[in-house]
Amino acid sequence: MTTRSVILLYRATCAKCRVLSLMLVWLSLGWVRRLPLMSPEAAALYEAHSLQRGKLAVIGYGRIFTGWRAFPGIAVIAALAICSRPAKKQT
């Protein structure tokens, strides 16, 4: 499954995780979508990507980053998104 939107799986039971994930969504102007770890859609993503359940994860543009690697992974996915945009044709 190749995900073209960026999804952040976060722990909804942790107040700090909720605030940080919400801040990331705001800072990305909605580009990043967040899903609680215990949601059915998150369970389907864990199953599809064979991820260890309960870990913070960022999924997008064919890449998956889990645990502490999710934080620098956001920058990698942003770079992939910028590079995958079609170049404008100048006339």
pLDDT digits (tens, 9 = 90+) for 13-24: 988 888 888 888
pTM: 0.75
Residue found by looking up tokens 């073209």 in the block: 4
- % of the chain with per-residue pLDDT over 70: 89
pLDDT at residue 2, as a whole number:
44
**Average of per-residue pLDDT across 17-41:** 87
